[in-house]
Amino acid sequence: MKPENTALVLIEFQNDFTTPGGTLHDAVKSVMEQSDTVDHAVAAADAVRKAGGSVLHVPISFAPGYGEITSHPYGILAGVVSSTSFVRGGWGAEICEELTPVDGDIVIEGKRGLDAFGSTNLDFVLRSKGIETVVLAGFLTNCCVESTMRSAYEKGFEVITLTDAVGATSPEEHANAITYDYPMFSKPMTTEEFTSALTSEDALADSSRGY
């Protein structure tokens, strides 16, 4: 893991999740408070920028009426539609104030489903920039973050998941994904462990060998 070849991918840090008044905020509030999700994501983003890495934001949004997806959604997308979440142009779909993109950040457009690679140019951007290590944070721990983690792993990237910079709709789902799924497809780390590794040559060497 070299900072210049490392990208932090921030998934759906949008008002509907992160901010009081957001349509889904109450659903993730307890895990966010337990993990200090947003604060840890901010710390990770600051560290990556300072080290010379890349910060990518991957919001999800839909046109009013959700015409981009089936008229009979089920599963997680049914919940998005029924709660009228992430409507393009609305406050709820905006990236939260704490993680407002800064100069040099990249905003990936086109996310309509769970996997951040699925309907976007994320893979193209990462490979164009020579990214080898993908670091994931965001929502939901066991949904979009996990889906993106699995794809990144299969695409050959080194994948790190920040266990205290993700959030889910229940502590049980959150803990289950981190305990049982994340180690299969990534190198789970706390934000402190990651930022320490990013600034320590010895730690970086150990991390690249999987220690």
Contact status, residue 120 vs residue 110, Cβ threshold 8 Å: yes
Return the axis-axis angle of helices 191-198 and 37-51, rounded to nearest 10°: 10
Contacts of 190 (CB under 8 A, 6+ apart): 40, 162, 163, 164
Report yes or no on 107 lying in a domain. Answer: yes
Instruction: Give the per-residue pLDDT at 211.
Output: 42
Could you tell me where the DSSP H helices lie in 25-181?
25-35, 37-51, 76-82, 122-128, 144-154, 171-176
Compute the distance between CA of residue 149 and CA of residue 194 in angstroms, rounded to an integer: 16
Instruction: Give the per-residue pLDDT at 57.
Output: 98
Closest of 57, 59, 32 to residue 164, by C-alpha: 32
pLDDT digits (tens), the chain, 211 positions: 799 999 999 999 999 999 999 999 999 999 999 999 999 999 999 999 999 999 999 999 999 999 999 999 999 999 999 999 999 999 999 999 999 999 999 999 999 999 999 999 999 999 999 999 999 999 999 999 999 999 999 999 999 999 999 999 999 999 999 999 999 999 999 999 999 999 884 444 454 545 4
Instruction: Give the per-residue pLDDT at 210.
Output: 53
Report the CATH number at residue 111. Answer: 3.40.50.850
Compute the distance between CA of residue 71 and CA of residue 82 in angstroms, rounded to an integer: 12
Report yes or no on 64 lying in a domain. Answer: yes
For 11, the domain range is 3-203
In the chain, the number of structural domains is: 1
